[in-house]
Structure 1
Amino acid sequence: MGCSQREFRRSQERALVVDVVEAVESVSGFEQSELPPLYETVDMEAVENAVRSGSGVVVGFEYSGHTVTVVDNSRLIVEPLERSE
């Protein structure tokens, strides 16, 4: 299986939660309405506070079968979780 990791630039004009959901939607192929509510997975206020606290901050979490990494509040990296079968 090839690497399906994708990187997205953050829009500083929108909430981080919007960028995360749209990035996972893009990688997964699911519509936003098909994804579980993000707030049930992670405290996005805590994530935003952490990445805005300084440079070099990286926060990662799992959401809807994907690993989401927020880097310096400027980039998102989304990749499917590895499934062992």
Structure 2
Amino acid sequence: MTSILVLGFLIGIRHAFEPDHLAAVTAMVSGKTSLRRTLRQGAVWGLGHTTTLFLVCGAVIYMETAISDFAARMMEATVGVLL
């Protein structure tokens, strides 16, 4: 179980450094004038990611199912529209 959690953490770290995330974070914090505001914005953004991850993964685990290819594509499309 620990190895799965470590793998998930490492994949998440890699995901955080993808170009779309770097662009989004740069756009969010470029207008901030203080370190405190920048850190708060980053924490809120990270909390949003974590909450979504726990809700979706929790539902999948609870229902003992998997995310279909169609659902995965729809979630990716939604993220694309939001960005």
TM value normalised by structure 1 = 0.32
Greater fraction of residues in helix: 2
Greater fraction of residues in strand: 1
Look at both structures and tell me which one has the larger radius of gyration over its CA atoms: 2
> Which of structures 1 and 2 has the larger relative contact order (alpha carbons within 8 angstroms, sep 6+)?
1
